[in-house]
Amino acid sequence: MRATIIHAARDIRLEEVDDLVLAAGLGEGGEPASGRDAIVRVVAACVCGSDLWPYRGVTETKEPRAIGHEFVGVVEQIGSAVTGVAVGDFVIAPFYDCDMTCTNCRNGVSPSCLDGNWWGRPDREGFPTGGAQAERVRVPHADGSLVVVPGPVDEALVPHLLALSDVMGTGHHAAVSAGVGPGSTVAVVGDGAVGLCAVIAAKRLGAERIVMMSRHPDRQALARRFGATDVVEQRGEEGVAAVKALFDDIGPDAVLECVGTAESMEQAILSARPGGMVGYVGVPHGGAELPIRTLFGTNVGVNGGVAPVRNYVEELLPDVLSGAIEPGLVFDLELPLSEVAEAYAAMDERRATKVLLRP
């Protein structure tokens, strides 16, 4: 099978690798996990903003590794203990593996699954899983990780379903973490795919005013289509002032931080009204910690983290199936998997917001 391997910064290659197989085929050590896994043929995958950190060398790639963590696909094989997923099912996978039965999963925090892990790494029992920018993935806890989409699945729905693998659920997590609800006033920092999905989420949860911070006309237009009521192009102190000016110089109830840099987090914290909340989902990069004195003095809270997108699929899927939300519109470029290196380059150079890949 073919899989995407990152060798070093800006060195992304699609390579021929060993086929992934059910753990049961790997010997006695495979039990009992071997019976709970599945092999999924990838129908669509994509490149994440967080994939750009190793691509740009911001995080080090110490040795070649499989990359990619967002996918939808069709189940090809299942282990003997799998009951919730059948061969031929169209499934959505979250950007991590989880069992959905442990305390953390039941508490709504499936990325902290006691028996879970990240795609591309061996599972907890040492069996390979594979990255998602590939032809196949091995899913350790198929009944936990995978959600079956009732079929047949319309081809036009694929991008929207794929968004539930990460960006839509992540934008939703920013909004939920910030307590967005009916009547909320919201600002979104970050006009990438997650920020755009955060606009969808805020609108869906009933926000009455949504400010998108963006300098890109195409992303501004998509944000408005998703429900943004205002756009602010300034950044830094000017950006804070411009956002606050829209709310009587007090600020919005919630700010959704969808980037992960020190600058974007500062922007978010300073833009929120006293007593407001920052919901953050951007993977933190850079050395800055959270400024406790500023937060203390203004009663601005900070909540969020690695989005538990698996916990959100059941809530969001009906709105995707009905067409009420269209998060797949964040994909503005589609390429065959063979052009995965170009997909990274296009996102790195901001020629594309988010690239969908077809094996």
CA dihedral 173, 117, 22, 33 (to 10 degrees): -110
Q: Which residue has the tokens 């944000």?
A: 223
- Provide the 8-state DSSP code for 267: H
206-210 long-range contacts, CB within 8 A, separation 24+: 206/180, 206/181, 206/182, 207/175, 207/180, 207/181, 207/183, 207/254, 208/182, 208/183, 208/184, 209/185, 209/246, 209/247, 209/252, 210/186
Residues ≥6 apart with Cβ < 8 Å to 175: 186, 198, 201, 202, 205, 207, 254, 256, 279
18 lines the binding site for a copy of itself (CB under 8 A)? no
Applying the rule CB under 8 A, the residues between 240 and 259 that interact with a copy of itself are 248, 250
| Vertex 138 angle, CA 132 and 139, to 5° | 95
84 lines the binding site for a copy of itself (CB under 8 A)? no
* The only residue of 80, 101, 299, 338 in contact with a copy of itself, by rule CB under 8 A: 299
293 lines the binding site for a copy of itself (CB under 8 A)? yes
181 lines the binding site for a copy of itself (CB under 8 A)? no
Query: Least distance from C-beta 252 to a copy of itself, angstroms?
Result: 11
290 lines the binding site for a copy of itself (CB under 8 A)? yes
53-61, 190-198, 226-234, 294-302 -> range binding a copy of itself (CB under 8 A): 294-302
292 lines the binding site for a copy of itself (CB under 8 A)? yes
321 lines the binding site for a copy of itself (CB under 8 A)? no
Residue count at the site for a copy of itself (CB under 8 A)? Answer: 37
18-26, 78-86, 103-111, 144-152 -> range binding a copy of itself (CB under 8 A): 103-111
Query: Least distance from C-beta 184 to a copy of itself, angstroms?
Result: 12
107 lines the binding site for a copy of itself (CB under 8 A)? yes
**E strand or H helix that includes residue 14:** strand 11-16
Nearer to a copy of itself, 8 or 306 (CB): 306
Residues ≥6 apart with Cβ < 8 Å to 110: 94, 96, 98, 100, 104, 116, 308, 309, 310, 311
What span, in angstroms and rounded, lies between the C-alpha atoms of 132 and 120? 8
60 lines the binding site for a copy of itself (CB under 8 A)? no
349 lines the binding site for a copy of itself (CB under 8 A)? no
In sequence order, the β-bridge partners of residue 272 are: none
Nearer to a copy of itself, 134 or 205 (CB): 205
- SS3 state at 283: coil
Nearer to a copy of itself, 35 or 284 (CB): 284
Nearer to a copy of itself, 90 or 280 (CB): 280
Give residues in contact with a copy of itself (CB under 8 A). 103-104, 107-109, 111-112, 177, 248, 250, 265, 273-275, 277, 280, 283-284, 288-293, 295-306, 308
